[in-house]
Structure 1
Amino acid sequence: MKKWLYVTVMLLPVLAQARHIIGGELTMRSLGRPGYFRVQMDQYWNEVYSNSQNNDATITLFIYQRRGPTLIESITLPLLTSTPIIYANAACAQSQSLKTLKGTYYKDIQFDVADYGDSEGYYMVWERCCRDNAITNLANATDIGMLFYLEFPAMQRNGAAFTNSSPVFGQPNGEYICINKPTAFAYTATDADGDQLRYSLVTPYQGYTTATEVYGRSTPRANYPLVTWGTGIAADRAISGNPALQINPNTGQLTVRANKAGYYLFGVQCDEFRNGQRIGSIRRDFVLPVIDCNLTPLPIPVIQAAGATATELNICPGTSATLTADANPQWAYQWRLDGSNIDGANSPTLAVQKTGSYTVLRSLAGRCANDTLSQPFLVKQLPLPAVTADSVPTVCASHDALPLVGQPLSGTWTGAGVANNQFDPAQAGVGLHKLVYTAKGANGCTNTTTRWADVSPPITLSGPVLYRIQRGSTGQLIQTPSVASATVLWSPALYLDDPGSTTPLCSPVDSQTYTVRAEALGGCTANASVTVLVVDRLYIPSAFSPNGDGQNDVWRLQNTESFPDCDVRVFNRWGELVYQCAGLPNEPWDGTYRQIPVEAGTYTYLIRTEADRPALRGSVTVLR
């Protein structure tokens, strides 16, 4: 479905007339989501007549549906910026009191898409009075209004969002036209959607405003009045000459050889087409002076690069080149890129990085003279060479240096730990490191590619290396790697429930020595040796009779040889230590304390077989 938008802009009720406005246009740019647009108006002001009273602080847009037409809503835009327009020939611009400002009003607005589904589309309009009374090519320029106009399609079609941004005219240069001098300037627009653009010269709108009603109303209008041309003037010959003002319908290039001085109004319309269907339109009004330069032109400047005259230059991406024009302190310069003045580019030399068509305009520095423009100098960009590099594997900090491979082979590597096209992880250190491979192609351009080297920390194993497990019992072995993600393998797997665990259970039949290997990302490894001793159960007698009859005269523990660190302690009922034996050989208790026989009775023992194992507690009876 096709939907057009008409927006009329109404300003605050200050009855200052707008004779300072020499041109402008409306645009709207999609900001991504359905119905979200930046609506913008650019005005061009004659700075000589511009002031705080006639520069409106806000403008109000009225939005209409073409079918009817019907008012949809109004929008208020604030004035946000004002910037000067560059005149290439500053001396002549000054002599003619030519100073131009660009005033920009805009606001980001979320429209209700449901309100914009009519296939006939919508339009915007801005009305204001009055134009400059000095305009030459109108039948009567006194108190003539102006109207800026934009059309756009529906925001949804067949129930789905329809995305479209209006075309956008490029910013004009500060221009004037010399009588009988062939003149060309670009009114080219760009379109964010890639739609086809067509240009035409049109008669500007006058609208309904007057000297006493300087702002437009919200009343829907079926049509708007056009300005009335003077004798012999029309849209396609708004500036008389041989030839008169013309436009290239495909490029927007304006050309004219004016034959009469004056102050000329003209209009340019840019229509956008998608799939052969016209979906939108913008218009720009503008006023240009035609003056009698009547001066001998300066020599045409010649652009050189690297000291040689040329018409084009190839540069590598990311590099710059210097263009020069023959210098003279009496001359002034203004460089242009693709027809637009470059801000601040006013010396005989220009450093260029962007591609495009460069020209330089030469004028006199101290007084107005007929300026001259160089032939175009084309700056092209060479392709970057194809540069590839092998990936760098994750590597352990203790690993040997790795070779780095890139194509073409003539390149070099740089980065932490890099020397002679090798990467030394020990020198780089633990962490993620950026490695850059740089190579130059046959065309002299340099390109780079980046690889990342991840250096893992060294790995260690921690845990006991000796275990004693009683025969017929099961014990847990522990070896913990310093890197949590590391894998562990016990070898041999004999008597283990899970040889890939950091805490396997071991049920040994006989003593065994295991090799434990841990491996982390990057090839970091660690090894440990763990010994498991199978020991017999410690036998602890429950009583003895130290009476000298040769039968059970001592309290002797059996199988203590399996526990070389065994510590045995016996206490009386008052908690006094009456017997202690630590280590091997384990001496039996003869039932004495300080060589005096202890009383018959029950005594408590505490036996610690290993420092990291629970103590054995119980009692032994001394019989007399």
Structure 2
Amino acid sequence: MKCIWTARADFRGWALVLLALLAPLAAAATHIVGGELDLQHKSGSTYTLSLNLYFDAINGSAGALDDNLTASIFNKTTNQRMADVVLPRVSDTFVNYTNPACTVGSLSTRKLVYTKDITLSAATYTNAAGYYVAVERCCRNVTIGNIVAPNNAAQTFYLEFPAVVRSGAAFLDSTPRIFPPLGDYACRDELFYYDFGGQDPDGDSLAYDMVTPLNGHATNPNPILAQAGPAPYSLINWNRGLGTSNQIPGSPALGIDAHTGRLTVRPRDLGLFVFGVRCSEFRRGVKIGETRRDFQLYVLNCPTNMAPTLQVRAPGSAAAYRPGRDTLRLTPGGNRCLAIRYTDPDPSSTLTMTSRAVNFTTATAPVFTSTTSGTVHSAGAPDTLTTTLCFPDCLDTGGRVYLVDVIVADNGCSLPKHDTIRIAFTAASLPNQAPVLATTFPPAPLPVSDDAPAVVRLTLGERYDATLTGTDANRNALTLSAAGAGFNLADAGMAFAARNGYGRADAAFSWLPTCDAVAAARANNGLLVRFRLAEAGPCEPLPQERLIRFVVAPKGDSLAFRPPNVFTPNGDGLNDSFRMPDLPVDFCDHKFASIKIFSRWGQPVFSSSERGFQWNGAGAGGLYYYLVTYTDGQKYKGWVEVLP
């Protein structure tokens, strides 16, 4: 372990002195470390409103662990109170350190979560400027060193959200899931960094900035408000010389990257410091909401921790790689591995190697082929560690320069120190032509795309056969396969047999549609089958595929159904009865059930369950109406006129 024992000795003395000085104030409600509100859309008009509150597990009193807190929702334009929501506490956990070995007894934080589902009606939450939510609670830690009268400083947790309807359409939004809880401390005169960035479930753009924490209306005598008051909320008061852009003094002072949410500071003073961060979300360039977090950072004296160092050697070279000056050129069949040496001047340092693709996907990233961690400068351990980082044979940059970071980190406290070398490289892969798939299926529709199926139309009882042939100029192993989308080929009566091999693969497909398959096809808008030709071997290209949709239809043309609309029952042997010889054919569960004929006053005059019915119209005259029903519920309606 790199520095923990020395660090604890230093921290213990500092913490004991501090606690002894502050013992008379222990009864005060000085427990709030920070927190943020969160609003997530669930479904329809239902959202989950949550408050994450961070509690000082060292100085906070158990009596200050509220069972519930009240959140108030306001109209942003008028400050009209829309609702008060009682949030019950649903969880109580401890915030972890980045490196648990760096734990100190003077810093322990609990995360309390208060949450409840709420309804945001589209008929109510329509204000174009949006709404805000607030929870007010007092008080902050009395040990805070950068604000005036911290024992009397309250906190207002705050977020903004948009109307749930815009231009007559639903406008759904969830606040960004940001701010991993901070369990670490900073070391005086050492660069401290922490990722406060997050992700937005709606894909909105996020921007970060430093803000002065909100104080609000709660006070030490009245720490818990039955409901939050409306804005504006008073701000905490900074000590002289400090402000929003200089909340924790240092070189640099505490700041946050507007795009990534990464906090950095090299603090110059010891103590406990509060700070505020805001995350704003934008959709199509328009701000739609924000959420804030107040938090604290301990700055302590830490033992000296030297940064680790690493050296990279290119394939076949005895010289060290020079970042910014050298570009590796990886050729097919050549050595594509980097030799890496890494060490640390501190005793008993545990080091870990990682790599990070900078401007390409991790699917083709290089991988370590040997151990990537170990201890140096301890009994029985070496002074320097080695590893190898190899680029895949099939990685091809297409002539572009790719970048990969090689990073070594130590186990120093409070946070690891790093050394990074950025490798620039180009790579070419072994040539390999894509295999060719030929079939007797009909051609795919234009324009051709991977997800555009060709359609095969069949009638019941009509066998369909097709062949598939795959060939490969490189004579790599080929495999033909077929899979149904949401169904099993065999269960639908489909047969597929493949003969795979090197350089060539053949397959036969056949199907005799049945009524069971027809029912499955109706449920799936036709039966979709994906035929695939895959190549095994070095640097194989993407598989070749054909997508076929099988549709089963009855014999005959249902559009040919044109029933007569007049007949003359006069005994002349011409058109003497009403018949429907062109009725749609019986097809699986679609079968003729009955016909009923009614007078214009709705009185039944004829019915039959025979498909070949005839109505002679005896005693009839004028207009009559018919209803033909099939067993699957389909109906055909019309009229017929009886002439003398």
- State if a TM-score over 0.5 links the two structures: yes
Partners of 1:437 and 1:423 lie apart in 2 by 10
1:372 to 397, 417, 422: 417
Q: What is the deviation of 1:74? A: 1.9
Task: Report the counterpart of residue 534 of structure 1 in structure 2.
Answer: none
Deviations 1:180-213 (A, max 9, x none): 1123333224334444433221110112222332
Rounded to whole Å, the distance in 2 between the matches of 1:89 and 1:230 is: 32
C-alpha distance in structure 2 between counterparts of 1:297 and 1:97, whole Å: 24
Distance 2:434 2:124 in 1: 51
The one of 23, 34, 44 aligned to 2:34 = 23
Partner of 2:493 in structure 1? none
Q: Which moved more, 1:370-379 or 1:102-111?
A: 370-379
Aligned equivalent of 1:266: 275
Check the 8 A contact 1:265/1:287 in 2, yes or no.
yes
| Distance (whole Å) between structure 2 residues aligned to residue 398 and residue 221 of structure 1 | 74
In structure 1, C-alpha distance between the alignment counterparts of 2:209 and 2:234, rounded to whole Å: 19
Cα 1:70–1:401 change in 2 (3 A) is closer
Secondary structure at the counterpart of residue 164 of structure 1? coil
Matched residue type, 1:419: R
Q: How does 1:403-482 map to 2 (within 5 A)?
A: 403-405=468-470, 410=476, 412-413=478-479, 415=481, 417-420=497-500, 421-423=505-507, 436-439=532-535
Displacement of 1:59 after TM fit? 3.0
Alpha carbons 1:177, 1:288 under 8 Å: kept: yes
> If the length of structure 2 is used for normalisation, what is the TM-score?
0.54
Letter in 2 for 1:89: N
Whole-Å separation in 2 of the counterparts to 1:277 and 1:257: 34
Corresponding position: 1:166 with 2:211: no
Instruction: Flag the 1:230–1:386 CA change in 2: closer, same or farther, 3 A.
Output: farther
Counterpart selection for 1:59 from 69, 72, 77:
69
When residues 123 and 208 of structure 1 are mapped into structure 2, their CA distance, relative to the original with a 3 A threshold, is: same
Which residues in structure 2 correspond to 1:309-320 (within 5 Å)? 309=340, 317=363
Counterpart check, 1:362 vs 2:410: yes
What is the match of residue 339 of structure 2?
308
Worse-matched range after superposition: 256-265 or 54-63? 54-63
How far is 1:407 from its partner? 7.5
The 10-residue stretch of structure 1 (308-317 or 150-159) with the greater mean CA deviation from structure 2: 308-317
Asked whether 1:328 is paired with 2:408, we answer no
Deviations 1:465-489 (A, max 9, x none): xxxxxxxxxxxxxxxxxx989xxxx
Report the AA paired with residue 506 of structure 2. Answer: Q
Cα–Cα, structure 1 residues 36 and 413, in superposed 2: closer, same or farther, change >3 Å? same
* 2:480–2:507 Cα contact (<8 Å) kept: no
Per the alignment, residue 337 of structure 1 pairs with none
Q: Does 1:117 align with 2:126?
A: yes
1:509-528 Cα offsets, whole Å, 9 max, x none, are xxxxxxxxxxxxxxxxxxxx
Aligned to 2:206: 197
- The TM-score, its normalising length taken from structure 1, stands at 0.55
Call closer, same or farther: CA 1:484–1:229 in 2, change over 3 Å. Answer: closer
Change (3 A) 1:298 1:356: closer
**Preserved contact between residue 207 and residue 281 of structure 2 (Cα < 8 Å):** yes
Cα distance in structure 2, aligned partners of 1:362 and 1:214: 44
Unpaired runs of at least 5, structure 2: 1-26, 314-335, 341-353, 379-386, 391-402, 442-455, 482-495, 518-526, 553-586, 590-644
Whether the 8 Å contact between 1:357 and 1:377 is mirrored in structure 2 is: yes
**Equivalences for residues 106-185 of structure 1 within 5 A:** 106-172=115-181, 174-185=183-194
* Structure 2 counterpart SS, 1:363: coil
Aligned length: 419
Candidates 259, 279, 297, aligned match of 1:250: 259
Which residue number in structure 1 is paired with residue 107 of structure 2? 98
State the shift of 1:446 in Å. Answer: 6.2
Q: Which amino acid aligns with 1:423?
A: A
Q: Deviations over 1:520-543 (max 9, x none)?
A: xxxxxxxxxxxxxxxxxxxxxxxx
Which one-letter code corresponds to 2:194 in the other structure? F
1:24 alignment partner AA: G
Provide the rounded CA distance (Å) in 2 between the counterparts of 1:398 and 1:118.
Answer: 63
Amino acid at match of 1:437: L
SS in structure 2 opposite 1:232? coil
Question: Structure 1 residues 440, 158: closer, same or farther in 2, change over 3 A?
Answer: same
Q: CA deviation at 1:69?
A: 1.6
Greater Rg by CA: 1
Task: Determine if contact 1:88/1:361 at 8 Å carries over to the other structure.
Answer: no
Is contact 2:270–2:300 with CA below 8 Å preserved after alignment? Answer: yes
How far apart in 1 are the matches of 2:278 and 2:415? 30
Structure 1 residues 408 and 286 mapped into 2: Cα distance closer, same or farther (>3 Å)? farther
Shift of the alpha carbon at 1:397? Answer: 13
Given candidates 23, 46, 49, the residue that maps to 1:36 is: 46
Cα distance in 2 between the residues matched to 1:263 and 1:195: 34
Q: State the match for 1:89 in structure 2.
A: 99
Give the counterpart letter for 2:98 in structure 1: A
1:400: how far off?
9.6
**Paired residues of 2:254 and 2:264 also in contact (CA < 8 A):** yes
Post-superposition offset of 1:369: 7.5
Q: Cα–Cα, structure 1 residues 208 and 236, in superposed 2: closer, same or farther, change >3 Å?
A: same
Counterpart-to-counterpart distance in 2, 1:322 and 1:211:
57
How far residue 71 of structure 1 moved from its aligned partner, in angstroms, is 0.9
Residue type at the aligned position of 1:91: A
Please say if residues 307 and 419 of structure 2, whose CA atoms lie closer than 8 Å, have aligned partners that are also in contact: no
Which residue number corresponds to residue 539 of structure 1? none
Closer, same or farther: CA 186–371 of 1 in aligned 2, 3 Å? closer
Alpha-carbon offset, residue 170 of structure 1: 3.9
SS of 2:123's equivalent in the other structure is helix
- Equivalents in 2 of 1:162, 1:303: separation in Å? 52
Deviation at 1:386, TM superposition (A): 8.1
2:499 aligned partner, one-letter code: A
Deviation, structure 1 residue 300: 3.9
- Once the two structures are superposed, what CA deviation does each residue of 1:552-578 show, in whole Å capped at 9, x if it has no partner? xxxxxxxxxxxxxxxxxxxxxxxxxxx
How far residue 228 of structure 1 moved from its aligned partner, in angstroms, is 1.2
SS of the aligned residue for 2:101 comes to helix
Distance change in 2, residues 1:452/1:413 (3 Å)? farther
- 1:414 positional shift: 5.1
Contact kept? 1:136, 1:264, Cα under 8 Å: yes
Q: Structure 1 residues 131 and 168, CA, compared in 2 at 3 Å: closer, same or farther?
A: same
8 A Cα contact 1:179 1:257, kept in partner: yes
RMSD over aligned Cα atoms: 4.9
- How far does the alpha carbon of each residue in 1:60-108 deviate from its partner, in whole angstroms, 9 at most, with x for none? 311111233211112233444455544233332x235434444433334
The alpha-carbon deviation at position 112 of structure 1 amounts to 1.5
Unaligned runs of 5+ in 1: 1-15, 332-347, 457-482, 486-624
Contact 2:256 2:263 (8 Å CA) reproduced = yes
Who is 2:491 aligned against? none
Deviation string, structure 1 residues 30-63 (Cα, Å, up to 9, x no partner): 3454x43232322334444578654434333111
Q: Secondary structure at the match of 2:410?
A: strand
Cross-structure match for 1:499: none
Structure 1 pair 221/111, CA: closer, same or farther in 2 (3 Å)? closer
Distance in 2 (alpha carbons) for counterparts of 1:29 and 1:283: 15
Conserved? CA contact 2:208–2:280, under 8 Å: yes
